[in-house]
Structure 1
Amino acid sequence: MNSSLKVLMNLSKVQAVISRRFDRLNIHGIGFNDFMVLYLLQQSADEKMRRIDLADKIGVTASGITRMLLPMEKIGLLTRETNERDARVSYVVLTPAGKQLFEDAEKTAKILAEEIIPAGKSKNMNLLSDLLIRLGGDIT
């Protein structure tokens, strides 16, 4: 088996392990993907993004992002906004409740991240980060 394939298989396993560890976000009523949505929205201008841009950033399809956002909209973490100039464009907007939940969940997420990658163990972090960006992991 070639080394590239092994790296990708190990990367897939690491992703599964990380997702399982971040299941602890469920104490806030959200999953890891929900957390990523809230993170991206709170980082964006006016705390809103086009649905298609959000899907692209997370790495899901347009229908996938719709399925992901519906429960978050139902519980008031997000809302929809249409573009006044182009009705085909819709935005996902972070609500005050979503912002508060993100701030609470971020504390838990930082603790989990520190458990997964302790500060002293991040010697090759820039190298790993560069590789992940080249593979499409461009969440900033």
Structure 2
Amino acid sequence: MGTSDQPATGHGADAALDFCVRMARAQAVLGRRLDNTLGSVHGIGFGDYVLLHHLSRAAGGRLRRVDLAERLALTASGVTRTLLPLEKIGLVARQSDPRDARVGYAVITGAGQTLLGEATTTARGICQESLGGATPGQLDALGLVLGQIAGMNLSNS
């Protein structure tokens, strides 16, 4: 077996694996904490919060459903399943494109904006507490690494 057939080993590969394992654990712990608190205080899960966050940051408070799916790393049907309960409680609405009936948008409503603002205060507190003494520089550096992993840039973050 040639060297190209060998699994990556060595300190660099071990460090990368260790980082990814820690990142997965941190995501699970933080996600559960955000889910529990946002759910009990505001009635939405963290996934709902992230969806509302992306809509609120988009031009006109709306995104094509396919673009929303990409930002949430979901399938088109996953986005539909996520949007339905939010539509029922009036946090998001559907909007069609008058020029192309095949294109559908998800739009954050006024009620969604209000709830998002209140939930953001809660989420900020949890995140700040969870990140402890991390400096803004450390967070920026980690944000770049995580963005690279997720294929994110300023237009889709």
Is this a same-fold pair by TM over 0.5?
yes
Cα deviation for residue 137 of structure 1 reads: 5.8
Counterpart residue type for residue 132 of structure 1:
L
The 5 Å alignment of 1:117-136 reads: 117-118=131-132, 120-122=133-135, 123-136=137-150
Residue of structure 2 in register with 1:84 after alignment: 98
Cα deviation for residue 127 of structure 1 reads: 1.8
Residue of structure 2 in register with 1:72 after alignment: 86
Compare relative contact order (CA 8 Å, sep 6+) and give the higher one, 1 or 2: 1
**Residue-pair matches, total:** 139
In structure 1, what is the Cα distance between the partners aligned to 2:53 and 2:23? 22
2:26 counterpart (7, 10, 14):
14
Normalised by the length of structure 2, the TM-score is 0.83
Residue of structure 1 in register with 2:46 after alignment: 32
Residue of structure 2 in register with 1:44 after alignment: 58
Cα deviation for residue 130 of structure 1 reads: 1.2
Identity %: 40
Normalised by the length of structure 1, the TM-score is 0.92
Counterpart residue type for residue 111 of structure 1:
G
- 1:88 partner SS: strand
- Structure with max Cα Rg: 2
Q: Which runs of 5+ in 1 are unaligned?
A: none
- 2:90 partner SS: coil
Residue of structure 2 in register with 1:61 after alignment: 75
In structure 2, what is the Cα distance between the partners aligned to 1:102 and 1:137? 25
1:108 counterpart (106, 119, 122):
122
Segment of structure 1 superposing worse, 121-130 or 99-108: 121-130
Cα deviation for residue 7 of structure 1 reads: 2.1
In structure 2, what is the Cα distance between the partners aligned to 1:78 and 1:20? 23
Q: Which runs of 5+ in 2 are unaligned?
A: 1-8
